[in-house]
Chains A and B, each alone.
Chain A
Amino acid sequence: MSRSTHTAAPQGEAAPRPVLDVDNLKVTFATDSGDVFAVKDVSFTVAPGEIVAIVGESGSGKTVTAKTILGLLPETAQSSGAVVISGNDVISVSPHQLRQIRGRDVAMVFQEPSTALNPVYTVGWQIAEGLRAHRPEGKRVGRKEARGLAIDALRKVGIPEPEKRVDYYPHQFSGGQKQRVVIAAALALNPGLIVADEPTTALDVTVQAEILELLRDLRDQYGTSIVLITHNMGVVADLADRVVVMFQGDVVEEASSEVLFAAPREEYTQKLLAAVPHLGRNSASAGFTERAFQDKEVLVRATDLEIEYPGRLGSPAFRAVDKVSFTISAGEVFGLVGESGSGKTTIGRAIAGLNRTTGGSLQVLGYEMRDYKERTFRPYRKDIGFVFQDPAASFNPHLTIGECVAEPLLIHTDMPRPAVTKKVEELLESVQLPRAYAKRFPHELSGGQRQRASLARGLALKPKLLIADEPTSALDVSVQAKVLELFRDIQAELGFAALFISHDLAVVDILAEWVGVLLKGKMVEQGIGSQIMGDPQDIYTKRLLASLPVPNPAEQAERRAVHQALLAAK
């Protein structure tokens, strides 16, 4: 089925031979419920020195396409068509040839740098592994030589003191540095093509900006082509020259990134771009000059709140939250923003009684959490709703959606069964789910539907306070937009107070009137949402905002310059 002769064909006038040529690629998986077509018909090419982004939501087949380029598909997959990398068709070559192509002609950067590195070997050893496997120029690479090459690779990706760091183990690097090491390993043999599968999804925005900068530098300096798989339109706008939009295994649209963002041709692309939250648009606190809801009852009051996690034997306790003070009034949406490890989730969990406080004071609905006892706090629980990050994991897989939503009603009220059933159906309708979904099991719902049901459960008892811990970060952008809109409508209607926790500044700005920014357990800045986003005072908030890529190539180029100026000033 594959056509390996295809490569020799001349590519038009002066166009250089593409580094990667994907032609009529089809991938099918055998599953228990029959065949699944993951990739239906995909064709695109990547020229030398070009960055091509493949974007799409989950299930669009973008990751499967990326894996096919490296020949990493599982045994259950069947692929046809052609994936030609520098003259070799990856689909039809022997395993031996495939091994030679990997690393030499094409390398991969994975999503999660902490799992892509083997924790028991030094990073130098892991970078040199590719060299040893390929024996460039037919010679064995000596220990000294391999080490030298590994140091060079580390220097290329901007790791400070590479001579020393080459002997470090992965756990001695931060997340961003680990991703640099992964990129260094991919670069060791100078492949013409790097496939980066969501290279920044697991990283914080400020680190993401650095990694994107690095990838751009690599292209500019070494002419490496990059296939970038991502769902983040901001990243695409920042880095890509050309964009391939995929939807359910098909290429919907292919265009240069300026054209795509300025004038998307297909309806799907238009919808996708419209759903991406854009910083500074649609702010919940636009035009506010002072804090709303100040005259209302204070539901949560934290004063010099400290939360420590006990250390292991001998090591000191880890202070996740350090002297944080804030209040949440009735009816107010408080947005808590921060990167991973900033303590934002810890604060949310402490308010719900899932974490113990260790210092300062935290009053929730008048209950002092310092003297927390499950028995005495339980009556207060009916006034607190909680929406978890991962909608798939926050439902018991053995109970129906109806049973899950009914649980708070059964525990806190003595409504008769038929009344509970009726109430559950009303709740589901209020979050725009059909009544019949009460009888379905969680796995029969999509991610967005599950998160709606989760919201229905959180609101079942009409709580005064709702804690939403990254409720949309596990969802696709188009789904996220709908869930956010629903959240906003319901909040306006019911008027509950909410603590909205997120790492995404643009999302927080859409919902929260008052925003607090956390850095390493400290609240560095809090204020009216639109003011924080428009005119940040703290240097960290400025960096955070500047590093957030916006889905518009021209605007993003300007922002990038601002960000670099900010870094230089520091």
Chain B
Amino acid sequence: METKKSLFSRLPIVAQLKKSMGLQRGMLIAGIVMTGLFLLTAALAPLLSPYGPTQRFNETQAPPSSAHLWGTTAGGYDVFSRTIWGTQTAVLVIVVAVALSIFIGVILGLLSGYIGGWLDRILVVLADAIYAFPTLLLAMVMSIAISKGQSNLWSGIFSAAISITVVFIPQYFRVIRAETIRLKAEPFVESAIVVGASSVRIMARHIYKNATRTLPLIFTLNASEAILTLAGLGFLGFGIEPSSAAEWGYDLNHAQSDAASGIWWTGVFPGAAIVLTVLGLTLLGESMNDLNDPRLRGRKRAGKKNGRKKNKELVDA
């Protein structure tokens, strides 16, 4: 029981929540609540939404009513259902995109950082080249190359996810590579070399775990970026077709002309969904980042009565 509890309190978000206080705690909790709502909505989409994501109605551009809670679009879609189903698409894209890019990025980063030499140089130049490219343009090119206009749910999600992956791999690659190069000079890695461990063993056993500690942070921050990229692709018409899945970017694009004629409901709801989701994930990521850094973490003032007083000696200097 004891070990289980300590394991639970060492889990990423839980550990930070325990350390936090004041404004930082408020931001973290706001982030957790928003992200939790987002995930919950995605999971319960079939129960929450009255209609399917691709269901069309005869009433177009109908204002909010009891039949259509948030009205309908010019294409005859129910805005409420589309917004709710949109969370599911977003979650799927995030999971696929981030999982793919973490996997490839970490492996390439470890190899490149540890082995070094010409492999490192080539990979760094490649990563820099991709990095220098405008993100959205690259994602567009990838999406055209992958989907070629086909658009059922999974191919749409995968083309969006893979085009985001291409942009994210260099980020993970760079973080892991920098950590690996730093760790390579650490005495514990040298002591493994001296013991006679093979390169694969050193990378897998000694460097991998130490280099990936910052990943949960990049993960949350990248998740919000993935949503924005997906929405951007959809807005520009390279995303998922409305007939295969609900996607906020596409809906926003088609709400553009409505806004001028006073039809506000088609744009506000998917827009607010994007803003809140991104805000939630960013709050979560940023406050976790701050809380993980002892210099940025706020603490209660010492000397005041605050529960446990451990008489532990301090390691000076």
* Contact B209–A398 (Cβ < 8 Å): yes
A224 contact set on B, CB distance < 8 A: none
Q: Write the B173-211 contact mask toward A (1 if CB under 8 angstroms, else 0).
A: 000000000000011101111111110010001100110
* Contact A64–B316 (Cβ < 8 Å): yes
* Contact A61–B210 (Cβ < 8 Å): no
Flag whether A500 is at the interface (Cβ < 8 A): no
* Contact A411–B310 (Cβ < 8 Å): no
Alpha-carbon distance A93/B85, docked complex (angstroms): 61
Nearest chain B residue, comparing its CB with the CB of A76: B299
Q: Write the A435-476 contact mask toward B (1 if CB under 8 angstroms, else 0).
A: 000000000000000000010010000000000000000000
Q: Which of B19, B195, B209, B299 contacts A381 (CB 8 A)?
A: B195
From 207 to 233 in chain B, residues with beta carbon under 8 angstroms from any chain A beta carbon are: 209-210
Binds A, one of B68-76, B111-119, B161-169, B300-308: B300-308
B317 contact set on A, CB distance < 8 A: 58, 63, 111, 197-198
Query: How many pairs of residues, A versus B, come closer than 8 Å at their CB atoms?
Result: 118
CB distance from B20 to the nearest CB of A (A): 11
Alpha-carbon distance A388/B185, docked complex (angstroms): 13
Alpha-carbon distance A28/B198, docked complex (angstroms): 47
B129 contact set on A, CB distance < 8 A: none
CB distance from A447 to the nearest CB of B (A): 9
Flag whether B67 is at the interface (Cβ < 8 A): no
From 9 to 31 in chain B, residues with beta carbon under 8 angstroms from any chain A beta carbon are: 19
Q: Which of B19, B186, B196 contacts A382 (CB 8 A)?
A: B196
A352 contact set on B, CB distance < 8 A: 194
CB distance from A81 to the nearest CB of B (A): 12
Q: Write the A7-33 contact mask toward B (1 if CB under 8 angstroms, else 0).
A: 000000000000000000000111111
Q: Which of B187, B196, B313 contacts A394 (CB 8 A)?
A: B187
* Contact A60–B302 (Cβ < 8 Å): no
Alpha-carbon distance A345/B192, docked complex (angstroms): 18
* Contact B303–A78 (Cβ < 8 Å): yes
Nearest chain A residue, comparing its CB with the CB of B197: A411
Nearest chain A residue, comparing its CB with the CB of B191: A394
Alpha-carbon distance A34/B194, docked complex (angstroms): 40
Q: Which of A28, A32, A61 contacts B316 (CB 8 A)?
A: A61
CB distance from A133 to the nearest CB of B (A): 26
* Contact A412–B313 (Cβ < 8 Å): no
* Contact B195–A407 (Cβ < 8 Å): yes
Flag whether B309 is at the interface (Cβ < 8 A): yes
Q: Which of B190, B192, B206, B308 contacts A34 (CB 8 A)?
A: B308
CB distance from B312 to the nearest CB of A (A): 5
CB distance from B59 to the nearest CB of A (A): 58
Alpha-carbon distance A51/B204, docked complex (angstroms): 54
* Contact A249–B307 (Cβ < 8 Å): no
Alpha-carbon distance A62/B187, docked complex (angstroms): 29
Instruction: Tell me which of B193, B209, B310, B314 has the highest count of chain A C-beta atoms within 10 A of its own C-beta.
Output: B314
* Contact A393–B193 (Cβ < 8 Å): no
Q: Write the A351-390 contact mask toward B (1 if CB under 8 angstroms, else 0).
A: 0111000000000000000000000001001101010111
Instruction: Tell me which of B187, B194, B307, B310 has the highest count of chain A C-beta atoms within 10 A of its own C-beta.
Output: B194
The interface of chain A, by Cβ under 8 A from chain B, is 28-38, 58-64, 76-78, 80, 111, 197-198, 248-249, 352-354, 378, 381-382, 384, 386, 388-390, 393-399, 407-408, 411-412, 454, 457
Question: Other than the known A32-B19, A76-B302, what 11 A-B pairs have Cβ atoms closer than 8 Å?
Answer: A28-B303, A33-B308, A34-B307, A35-B302, A64-B314, A76-B301, A248-B313, A394-B188, A396-B205, A397-B188, A411-B196
